[in-house]
Amino acid sequence: MSADEDAGRPRRPRGSSEPVPAEPRAEIPSWPRSIGEELVTHVYLTLVRRAHPSRASLISLGFLAIEIDQALPVLEELRLIDVGPEGHINVYPPDVALPAFAAELERQARTSRGASSALATIFYEARTTAGAAPSPETFDLRLLESIEDIDHARVQITPTARQCITRLVARTSRHDRVLLEQPQLLRTSRTMDPDLPPGMRMSVFEASVLELEGALTALRALQDDGVDVRLTASVPFTLVVVDETAALMDISNIEPSGYGSVMIRHGPLVQAISGLAAVVTSASSPVPRTREPSVAGFGFDQRDHDVLSLLAAGASDSVIARKTGVSQRTVERRVRSVMDQLGVATRFQAGVEAARRGLV
């Protein structure tokens, strides 16, 4: 409604002593501005106030015929009234009609939000040209204020992938739940070409994730789905990079509400962020796959192989002990034995050497 003091008040014919009804305090929805928001509001409030409204009664209250002919079709289309024969008007109860009207607006809003991702993909693809200088309309840096905003941004950018998706996943309770309960969110998008190589999808997790019961199984399941799963000592924040054209920086491991996270669509900036992701991935190790410990020249039994696999993945002695079902002291002895057989001095070297020789 208009803020004007006269908005919503029906007009009194000249010479009429009929009092002007008081303006109700209830909020009235906004009407299409093309025919005048105030006009439709005036007419609707007048119809609500009168027990037996009609086109003739509106004219008697001072409305012009042209105004009535503009407003009534709008109110009918919104299913707030029904104009019957001879100009009689049936007003539907507002406590039924207005919630139904609001529900329709919400449906239209949901439809618009649902189309935004697909339309955004078309928009940015049409404006992305290799080597072209960025223009203001193709620069999109959006501040995200909540976890819901972060999830919505992820849903927007991941289906646009045509070449690769790189994820760095920082530890939070939410990300732990996703790994264990919703791993499909870490897999490929439905629009990706299934013939593209598995290396197009990479997810790097903090090695401490292995402390979660079932995490190693979940990580290996992602591997089986074609994701290059890797582990590293720490991840500063969660990052999703799509084709060097879009990026999502999720700082919910620092600010639990997610406020301050950003979605970026700007080629040069995303390429710089992708370079940062490459530095982290280059220092990461692949999650070891389960394999038989029959390696010529090494006296490893199955438990030694399990210890070596977890060692290469960056697991601590306590985690290895829990995963293999032996004491931490036994793990320390086995780690030392493995390092001696590989001829290395540190745990890190043991993991590198094991990977180089194809032992994990």
User: For residue 330, what are its two tokens?
Assistant: 């036994």
Confidence bin at 238 (pLDDT 50/70/90) = very high
SS3 content of the chain, % helix, strand, coil (to 5): 50, 15, 40
> What b/e readout covers 163-180, taking b as 16+ CB neighbours within 10 angstroms?
ebbbbbbbbbebbbebbe
- Number of other residues whose CB lies within 10 A of the CB of residue 148: 10
Sign of CA dihedral 289, 294, 297, 301: positive
pLDDT tens for 12-35 read 444 444 544 444 444 444 444 445
CA–CA gap between residue 297 and residue 257 (Å, rounded): 53
- Whether the predicted pLDDT of 282 surpasses 50: yes
Mean pLDDT, residues 245-271 taken together: 92
Residues 313, 285: Cα–Cα separation, whole Å: 6
In the predicted structure, residue 147 carries a pLDDT above the cut 90: yes
Q: Check residues 7 and 174 and name the one with the higher pLDDT.
A: 174
Contact between 58 and 50 under an 8 Å Cβ cutoff? The reply is: no
Tell me the per-residue pLDDT of 63-115, one tens digit each, with 9 for 90 and over.
998 989 889 999 998 889 999 988 899 999 998 888 888 888 888 777 766 56
For tokens 């000592």, the residue is 233
Q: Which of 256, 262, 265, 263 is nearest to 147 (CA)?
A: 256
Tell me the mean pLDDT in the region 118-144: 61
pLDDT at residue 293 tops 70:
no
**Contact yes or no for 357/297 (Cβ under 8 A):** no
Would you say 73 and 42 are in contact if contact means Cβ atoms under 8 Å apart?
no
The whole-number average pLDDT for the span 304-325 is 77
DSSP 173-199: HHHHHHHHH-GGGGS--TTS-TTS-GG
| First-to-final CA distance of the chain | 70
β-strand partners of 143 = 262
Look-up of token digits 């919104």: 78
